[in-house]
Homo-oligomer: A and B are copies of this chain.
Amino acid sequence: MKLIVIGGVASGTSAAARATRVNPDVEVTLYEKDDDISYSGCGLPYYISGVIDERSSLIINTPEKFSDKYGITMKASHEVTKIDPEKKEIHYKDLVNDEEGTDSYDKLIISTGAKPIMPPIPGIDLKNIVSLRTVNHADRHRRITTNSEVNKVTIVGGGLIGMEMAEAYAELGLEVTVVEKSEHILSLINSELSEKVENHCRENGVKFFLGQGVTEFKGKDKVEKVILDSGKEIETDMVLIAIGIRPVSKLAKEAGIELGVQDSIKVNGRMETNLDDIWACGDCVQSVNLVSGHPAWVPLGSTANKQGRVAGENAVGGNNFHRGILGTGITKVFDYIVATTGIKEDEAKAAGFDPFSITIKAPNHAGYYPGFEYFSLRGIFDKETGRILGAEGVGRSGVDKRIDVLATAIYAEQTADDLFQIDLGYAPPYSVPKDPVAILGMLAKKKI
């Protein structure tokens, strides 16, 4: 049996490796457009900031290492240009030797990932305007930021990548300005929490232009100014475009594969597309939100890894399943942890719930123990059933633990009373006798 995998970052390598483990007789060929495979995209901001010194630390496997380890034929720097599901063939272009060719498959896995959105704003092609998705992008950042004439950077888009990079640039000593079209950064959390993150960023020297879009980039050769729709001009030496990503699904679409939310590839929990013998996984596919039951496209490395495993297993005769996502997300912005899971009020209403929210000032651990801090924890509950639907947290400490606990509770369809009942670990360095999760449950019970 011959398996072709298109795309070799998180889900593609996960799928390819898993296929060879489950069925050692399968012949796997992996095509990747880039020259790097199997790297940690989530680590790129820390490589740019210098927190991670070595480029090689981010590379989990080189094509050679991966090939040796799993017996997979690696085709890095090979772009797949067409899938022919009738003939069970793919067409590719060898980007190094500029040659074209075809290859045949019995089973195909598409893991083409996602790519940054580059808006068609005048001046977008000026030098020093960058995006961030691959290790090569990160290398480009490092080349620009090490130039002593680059002192000011403007980030367009205050989402996860934008804010992680605000910290990274500040670490490098650059003056950081963030332009965000919405009234607040980090739309994954409620505005009362994102304001806290904005203030924390301001304390770290970051300037914000909120509720404003970019109309033009100006400069001779390199970018020199960012023009906002308010008319405001920001002097800059560099621009990061971080307004979002979109799934790379054109290849799949042209082959007759159905697309879903935001043009992501439609798959079921077995990672099957609508076409026989073609699976898809990772940042290019649609998933389902387990709370709302609605289709969702939330491209994250953790989900990609699981989906790759499932697709790889099923493509070679296995039987695995990915149930869906909760929309859990976490990031570090300077000294703050920002995290979310489950659904927001508007999504809850759309899914037929009657949501209400509670926000608490939550102790990370005992008040008398060193390192005591409050963080903000917000829970969204259904009024009728008391079910926990979503949660968000912001603060210096204790956030990641409670959001993972709440993600588990949300996954298991637990209620406010359950949050009170769960026997969580208490010792002064780790929590308080009534853990913030229990407090959230107690307060929510009162409102039901």
Contact = CB atoms under 8 A, between A and B. Distances in A.
A46 B424 CA distance: 21
Contacts of A409: 408, 412
A24 interface: no
B430 A366 contact: no
Contacts of A58: 368
Contact of A366 (B43, B300, B328, B429): B43
B426 A368 contact: no
Interface stretch (A190-198, A207-215, A257-265, A330-338): A330-338
Interface string A331-352: 1100001010100000000000
Interface in A417-437: 418, 420-431, 433-435
A227 B290 CA distance: 61
Nearest to A401: B401
Contacts of A423: 290, 302-303, 325-328, 341, 407, 411
Nearest to A301: B433
Interface residues of A, number: 66
A400 to B, nearest CB: 4
Nearest to A368: B57
A133 interface: no
Contact of A328 (B331, B425, B442): B425
A398 to B, nearest CB: 10
Given A302-B423, A423-B411, A366 B42 contact: yes
A305, A420, A427: most-surrounded residue (chain B CB, <10 A): A427
Contact of A425 (B329, B411, B420, B435): B329
A19 to B, nearest CB: 16
A403 B427 CA distance: 13
Contacts of A400: 401, 425, 430-431
22 contacts: A40-B433, A43-B428, A46-B368, A46-B369, A57-B367, A305-B433, A305-B434, A306-B420, A328-B425, A330-B430, A332-B430, A337-B430, A341-B423, A341-B425, A404-B435, A405-B408, A407-B422, A407-B424, A408-B408, A408-B412, A408-B414, A412-B414
